[in-house]
Amino acid sequence: MSEDLTHTDDEGNVQMVDVGDKPDTARRAVARGEIHLQPSTIQSIREDDIGKGNVLATARVGAVQAVKHTWETIPMCHQIPISNVDTDFDLGDDQITLEVAVETTGKTGCEMEALEGVTTGLNVIWDMVKAAEKDADGQYPETAIDNVRVVEKRKRRIQ
Contacts of 120 (CB under 8 A, 6+ apart): 62, 63, 65, 66
Closest CA to 120 of 98, 102, 153, 103: 98
Give the DSSP H or E segment for 113: helix 111-133
Separation between Cα atoms, residue 71 and residue 139, nearest integer Å: 33
Q: Any catalytic annotation for residue 127?
A: yes
Q: Which of 24, 48, 90, 127 is catalytic?
A: 127
Q: Which residues are known to be catalytic? A: 127
